[in-house]
Structure 1
Amino acid sequence: MSTEAHPHEPHRAGTGQRLNWLRAGVLGANDGIVSVAALVVGVAGATTDSGALFTAGIAGLVGGAISMALGEYVSVSSQRDSERALIAKERRELRDMPEAELEELTGLYRARGLSDETARQVAVELTAHDALSAHLEIELHIDQDDLVNPWHAALSSAIAFTLGALLPLLAILLPPPDWRVPVTFAAVLIALAATGTLSAVLGGAPRLRAATRLVVGGALALLATWLIGTLLGTTVV
């Protein structure tokens, strides 16, 4: 029997990171759906003017997308800076005290369940092949060739938020005035159920529980802002 990995199995480097980006995209879309939906439904509670709804929706979409992109850029930049610092530190330690690092690597494999002899042999062979990569992988769980990119994170976050925000924006603008709020409620809750299910599938969590949390939370947010908009629309001159 061949010991080679099957070519169609997901053994490529970075698979976990790609799944994390996908989860982040789903969360970004959820943010866009809920935040912009709550905004336009609140405005719709106060007025039926399409211009006001459009202005509020676009402002929420643009502001939210920029905020999401900036937050993701800062967060991922900090993560990448930390990873680079750890790589530089490991490189110095391998240069200045190679024997101690070899013993450390041996101990790490011994802690994984290998015998002393096997752990030593594995450590020696990996050190001879690529000492830095060996230490980064087992000690720090870092792939120096697959560091996170803050620009990619910022762009994907902004796109995900924008795509999510377009749903409530269209739902509040396209129907007749009397149907705007009910249609937006229905569209948003269906979308949240779908994205909640998808996020559960990606994370291996119970689907119904994840979808229910999002739907209930989204419904409460929409109801609260609609009530506030209705109250202010009838009391503020």
Structure 2
Amino acid sequence: MKLISGTAFKANDAELDFKIFTLDGQHNEKPDYRLEQAPLLSGFKIINIPLPGTLTAEEYRKLIKVPRFNPLTEEPEQLHLWYLLDDQQLLYTCLAKRIGNYGQLKGFMQYQGSLPGLDENLWATLQVKIRLLESYQELFRRGRSKPIDRQTLVQSGAVSGTFIDLVAEKLKELNGDPQRLLLALGAKEVQGFLQSKLKALEQYLIGLGVIDDQQVLSAEDLQVRLMALVSNLDIPEVQAYEFIDKVMS
């Protein structure tokens, strides 16, 4: 950039100074606004997924390594389509297009996607199943704590460097259950851990939402409530129960 300065003219006996800034480059030169070349859409190509052939649903599950669903820590959008689709060929079609869970399929359908074998009636049934799962999870989670890890303890600020290894080890013994950890600390299973710090840790975990102080529903009560939910659905009861059993197995 070049700078030229001087005196332009006089007005009312006052001299007006001026400055001219000249940007580098030729006049009327058009800047190059071209963006970097877009990457090839290789990530959207159909991938190699084994065909189900004559395999049973359980055999195909093992072949494609379907992860187990955790009703405490995962949401329905993360549910693998194996749990939702009884048609193995349709499942294969979805997986080949990188549509692996309900959230991805939901997005695909919202953008007017089309899949052979997935008509409006089936899509409506899948949505009913998801609503059932949401309601069931709400009941199942009542009074149950979500697992935490060492990092959660560190972030709480209630566990000092002196005790972090001991408390983290105790947490590991208790399979990451924060409620059981609080009970263990209250019982002084970690010697020297202050009760004031225990209270601070408890408040942090409650605020974090990993501890539910409601009472866990008994198996009988959970079953009765599930039956009530299913009675109001637009799918056969047997299909609804089979779905929940499949997810929870």
Higher relative contact order (CA 8 A, sep 6+): 1
Q: Give the structure with the higher percent strand.
A: 2
Note whether the superposition's TM-score is higher than 0.5.
no
Q: TM-score scaled to structure 1, two decimals?
A: 0.24
Rg comparison, structure with higher value = 2
Q: TM-score scaled to structure 2, two decimals?
A: 0.24
